[in-house]
Structure 1
Amino acid sequence: MTDKRTLILQTADKLFVEQGIKNTTIAQIAELAGIAKGSVYSYFKSKLDIVKALFVQSFERSQQAAEALLADQRLHGPALLEAHVMSQLHQVEEERAFQQMWMSDDSLVMDDDLLQLIQTCRAEFCQVQLAILQRALGDDASPWRYDLLTLINGQIQEFSLLITMDNMTFSHVHCAAFISRSACWTLNGLQQSQSEPVLTEQNYVINPMPGDRQSQIQRSLKQLRSLCIKLDSDEQTLVSQTLDLIEQQSSLENPSVALLRALIANLRPYPELAEERARLAELLAVELI
């Protein structure tokens, strides 16, 4: 059975695609979903919050697919990179209508909050991609790993635009093989020429949010801990343990999105924490469930 939050997102996605975000109202979403308008606001503060949740949902899907590929010990070498590209192109194909919708909406393209959220998600996803690249191409790729990642993502993005904006059809299998082989050929050329990398760990920085994001996460966790005084002693203990686990996981170089999402969900039974819980989920770029 579909939970109410998921139902709202599915309904909003359908209406956004059919009539655009500007022309869709919260009331229409509630009516089509068969729920009260107030129920929508109990999950989302505004229509933009629904849009942001749909973006997080899309990025999390990419993240989970990439993490699953990394966990599959049968995949290695260029085949792993091919599988990753295939996964990305398949998702673009499935989400074509949604992508077309938001790319044609000027109000979204110019919204700072949404752009910051996208940057946060990009920063998280790039870490997983780097791990895939390392396993696919080996230690030989290390000096140029950021350059290679940029080239690969550029190719994926261009082919994705052909799918999304031009409704072009082509073999995803051949495309994935082409991109994977291009990466191998490029690496061979770089090794032979001993070219200096353009991008390094020092200058490859995706700014996920203005300011120090980790500091913002720490402030949010501190605020949640201060709100715990409104709970009884047993609840305080459970929440404190959950926050400790979130803090540990968020400090890792490659935190588990699935685990963070589950830990954030553990805080849902406490209405006193609802507003700050939503803020923390946004900072961590995980879906609020």
Structure 2
Amino acid sequence: MSRKEQIIEVAMKLFAEKGYHATTMQEIAEHSQLAKGSLYNYFKSKEEIVLSIFQYHYDQLFQQFARIASDRSLTAREKFLKQLSLQIEAFEQHKEIVQMHMGDHAQKVSEDVHALVLRIRSHLFDWYVQSLIDVYGERIRPYVLDCAIMLNGMLKEYLFFALFEQKSFPFQRLAPFLIERLDVIVDSLQHDMPLLSHDAQAEKTRALALIEEMIEEASDHYIVEVLKQLKTEIQRDDPRKAIVEAFLLYLQQSNMRQFVPALRAALAL
């Protein structure tokens, strides 16, 4: 673990114990066994630490999602169950981070933190969309936004209850319980009209914005070139699905793999 990661872990624990506003840079420095001046060599402000905490926490989560997704011994349903269980386990271990994520706390810290949280929520929602299509197949595509919203709502409310009611909660049962409820919901929707539907142009715009974000984060020159070519292909009036799929398969094997589910969801692949 790097020095910056150690500071992040210390800050997470202090924020959990005392709250963000009550924790000082001096306390973070002391618990990190650093002089206050040395701490500023790593982070210029408490706000910068919070940004790094969110980014670090969700980078770790999406990297674990990607490892599960690449396990060919698992079915799509088994992958989704493991990934959802992992998300719930991460909540149980880092309630203070998710608490800031779930409420309006992020906006109270700063607009930058709020913007990052909104982007993370978008990535999680895209992952729900793609996972639901992987599990239930093409029959769910017309209803996938409705199902993703219902899943997100159910999960959020259960976690909200676990967080604020201060009662014992069976976290290990939540993922299979939610997926069993989804089975019933998906079956019941086959004879109904979806409330929401994909806006192809809006989804294309979202995919292009995500590619720009990936280009900014990519450190490998070849990955940047692949992303630029993918962007060019998507901008065509009639993107060639086989070529887009080839680019996505390549990215799935790279350190950009955590973005691929969101891209697939936006491109309806």
Query: Do both proteins adopt the same fold according to a TM-score greater than 0.5, normalized to the shorter chain?
Result: yes
Matched-pair contact (CA < 8 Å) for 1:92–1:164: no
Query: How far apart, in 1, do the equivalents of 2:121 and 2:151 lie?
Result: 14
**For residue 12 of structure 1, what is the aligned residue in structure 2?**
11
Matched, 1:3 2:2: yes
How far does residue 20 in structure 1 lie from its aligned partner after superposition?
2.0
How far does residue 215 in structure 1 lie from its aligned partner after superposition?
9.1
Once superposed, what is the RMSD of the aligned Cα atoms?
Answer: 3.6
How far does residue 148 in structure 1 lie from its aligned partner after superposition?
0.9
Matched-pair contact (CA < 8 Å) for 1:82–1:179: no
How far does residue 98 in structure 1 lie from its aligned partner after superposition?
4.1
- The DSSP-based 3-state class of the residue aligned with 2:21 is coil
How far does residue 179 in structure 1 lie from its aligned partner after superposition?
1.0
| Number of residue pairs the alignment of both structures matches | 237
Superposition map of 1:191-230 within 5 A: 191=190, 193=191, 195-202=192-199, 213=209, 217=213
**For residue 265 of structure 2, what is the aligned residue in structure 1?**
none
Superposition map of 1:100-249 within 5 A: 100=99, 106=105, 108-109=107-108, 111-191=110-190, 193=191, 195-202=192-199, 213=209, 217=213, 242-246=220-224, 248-249=226-227
Hey, which bits of structure 1, 4+ residues long, moved more than 6 A?
A: 101-105, 203-206
How far does residue 204 in structure 1 lie from its aligned partner after superposition?
11
- Deviations 1:53-96 (Å, cap 9, x if unpaired)? 11112222331232223222233254433323222211111112
How far does residue 203 in structure 1 lie from its aligned partner after superposition?
8.1
TM-score norm. by structure 2 comes to: 0.72
- Deviations 1:209-256 (Å, cap 9, x if unpaired)? 9xx8469759x96xx9xxxxxxxxxxxxxx9x8345246348679766
Matched-pair contact (CA < 8 Å) for 2:47–2:109: no
Matched-pair contact (CA < 8 Å) for 2:10–2:32: yes
Query: How far apart, in 1, do the equivalents of 2:27 and 2:253 lie?
Result: 32
> Equivalent of 1:259, from 245, 255, 260?
255
Matched, 1:35 2:54: no
Tell me which amino acid in the other structure corresponds to 1:180.
Answer: I
- The DSSP-based 3-state class of the residue aligned with 1:259 is coil
The runs of 5 or more residues in structure 1 that have no matched partner are 225-238, 262-289
Q: In proportion to residue count, which structure has more helix? A: 2
- Deviations 1:101-157 (Å, cap 9, x if unpaired)? 777885744632111111112222333332322221122111111111111111111
TM-score norm. by structure 1 comes to: 0.68
**For residue 86 of structure 2, what is the aligned residue in structure 1?**
87
Q: Does 94-103 or 12-21 show the bigger shift?
A: 94-103
Give the 3 Å change call, closer, same or farther, for CA 198–101 of structure 1 in structure 2: closer
Matched, 1:54 2:44: no
Tell me which amino acid in the other structure corresponds to 1:19.
Answer: K
